[in-house]
Each structure stands twice: as C-alpha cells, then as structure tokens.
Structure 1
Amino acid sequence: MKKLVIIALAFVTLNGFAQKKEHDKRDRAHTSELRKDMTPNDIADLKSKQLTLKLDLTDAQQQKVHKLILKQAESRNKAREAHKPKEGEKREKPSKEELVKMQNQRLDDQIAMKREMKSILTTEQYAKYEKMEPKKHKKRGMRNKNRSKK
C-alpha cells in the first residue's frame, strides 16, 4: 500500500512539473495592456522619477529630463499610431526599405537622446546613466533567447 501511495505521489508531482507555464505570457500581456493605456506624460513622469532616484537628479535636472522623455514618448506614440492598421485593414509587415528607415530613425533618436542627457547630467551622473543602459538591453536579449527556445 505504501508503494502505491508513493508512486501516485510521484506521478502527481511529475504531472505538475510537466505543465506549460503560461503565467509569464499572461503577466507580460497584462503589463503590455496597461502600458497602452498610459499617456506620454505618465511615461515621462515615471521614467524621470526612476532616473531621479537612481542618479540623484536636482529639481532643475529632473524637469529637463522630464521634458526630454515626454518629447521622446510623444514621438514614439505618433510613430506607433502611424503604423497601426486602420479599422478593417489587416496588419502588414513593413517592407525592407521601411524597416531600414524606421531603424535609422530610431537610432537617430537614441543618439539625440544621449547627447541631450549628456548636456543635462553631470559627468558622474552620466557615467552612472551609461552603466544603466546596457543592463536593459542585456535583459531584453535574454528574454528573446528564452522566447526562441519555447
């Protein structure tokens, strides 16, 4: 009888581990939905406050960073709306030329953002800011690797 209980317990345990983990996708989808509802001003508030905490920004710096991030969020929102399919249309992938154009525009925006941040922040703050950036991209790369394995 003991052996039967142990075998049943082993099967139940193994069955629990064998199930797909869908909760990660649900959490990301939920976060994505929440992010869609955020206005550019909300995004700028959150990001500028995060940078204030991490970089110890002054009030004047915080206001400048807020304006910069707000401008960036608004331009991203406009680009997102421009590429959104109209009602009744099917979403199409961009052509190779459009993709190159979008990537060039994104890189130009990043370069401009970096230059503006360099003018706003002190040298110590900018060094800290530079160290923060690669971590985000590294995490994004790890998520993409995990996604391709599934």
Structure 2
Amino acid sequence: MKKIILMAIAVMTLPALAQEHKEHRQGPHKKEAMLKDFSPEEAATLKTKQMTLHLDLTEAQQKKIKALFLEEAQFMQEKREARKAAKKDNKEKPTKEERYAMMNERLDREIAMKKQMKSILNNNQFEKWEKAQTTKHKKKIQKRHKGDEKRGR
C-alpha cells in the first residue's frame, strides 16, 4: 500500500518538475524577447540606461548612444516584420546567396556600430563595452552549441 502511494506521488510530481525545467530553459531569452515587445524608442531608452549604468556615460554620450540604439532598433523592427511577411508568403529557407548577403550585411552593421561606439566612448568605456560584447557573443555561441547537442547534431 505504501509503495502504491509513493508511486502515485512520484507520478504526480514529475510533470511539475518538467515544467519548472522548461521555464528555466527559457530564461536567457526573456530579456531579448522582452525588448521585442517594446517600441524602438522604448527599447533604445532601456538599452541606453543599461549602458549608462554599466559604463557611467555622460549626458552627451547618452544622447548620442540613444540615437544610435534608436536607429538600430528601428532597423531591427523593419527586418523582423519583413522576415515575418516572407515567412508567411514563402515557407522555403533562404538560399546560400541570400544567407551570405544577410550575414555580410549584419557584419557591416556590427563594424559600423563598433566605429561609432569608439568615437562616442572614451578608451576605458570602449574597452569595457568591447569586453561585454565579447562575453555576450561567447554565451550566444555556447547556447547554440548546447541546442545542437540536444537535437543530436
């Protein structure tokens, strides 16, 4: 009788544990997903304030960086909407040439962003920002590799 009760309790708690694990797994994406819900102006303001806290930006730097983030957020929103429309119309994946063009465009934008940040920030701030970008990039790669391992790639 005790064994049956213990088995029933175990069976009832397994789904709860599985749900907790699923919610935990979505954690790193919440910040990125949260910014997508905001307008470009709101997202730019939030990112600027985060950077101000991290790098102790002056008022002039804040204005320049906010304008930069606003431009980037507007561009990303346009790209997101274009991707959604293309996904609805065409279920096919992009061709090799299209992927190359997208990657090339993204890298060009990253280079331009880095040059603009270097002109806005002082040397110490720029080094700290660059280090944070590298750390963020490494985490993204690790997360991608974990996903590949889970899918058996």
Letter of the 2:60 partner, please give it.
Answer: A
Q: Report the TM-score, using the length of structure 2 for normalisation.
A: 0.78
For 2:81, what is the secondary structure of its paired residue? helix
Letter of the 2:142 partner, please give it.
Answer: M
Shift of 1:78: 1.4
Match of residue 39 from structure 1: 39
CA shift in 2, pair 1:46/1:91, >3 Å: farther
Q: Decide which structure has greater helix share.
A: 2
Letter of the 2:65 partner, please give it.
Answer: V
Aligned-residue CA RMSD (Å): 3.1
Match of residue 127 from structure 1: 127
Q: Report the TM-score, using the length of structure 1 for normalisation.
A: 0.79
Structure 2 residue runs of 5 or longer lacking an equivalent are none
Q: How does 1:51-70 map to 2 (within 5 A)?
A: 51-70=51-70
Q: Is the CA contact (8 Å cut-off) linking 1:44 and 1:66 kept in structure 2?
A: yes
Shift of 1:88: 5.5
Which range moved further: 83-92 or 123-132?
83-92
Q: Distance between the aligned counterparts of 2:123 and 2:88, measured in 1?
A: 51
Q: Is the CA contact (8 Å cut-off) linking 1:48 and 1:66 kept in structure 2?
A: yes
Q: Distance between the aligned counterparts of 1:80 and 1:132, measured in 2?
A: 25
Larger radius of gyration: 1
Shift of 1:27: 5.0
Shift of 1:143: 1.4
Match of residue 98 from structure 1: 98
For 2:115, what is the secondary structure of its paired residue? helix
Percentage of pairs with the same residue = 38
Match of residue 10 from structure 2: 12
Q: Distance between the aligned counterparts of 2:134 and 2:40, measured in 1?
A: 24
Which range moved further: 78-87 or 105-114?
78-87
Q: Distance between the aligned counterparts of 2:119 and 2:29, measured in 1?
A: 36
Match of residue 49 from structure 1: 49
Per-residue displacement from partner, 1:19-42 (whole Å, max 9, x unpaired)? 643223555676665433211111
Q: Distance between the aligned counterparts of 2:90 and 2:140, measured in 1?
A: 28
Runs (4+) of structure 1 moved beyond 6 Å? none
Q: Is the CA contact (8 Å cut-off) linking 1:84 and 1:91 kept in structure 2?
A: no
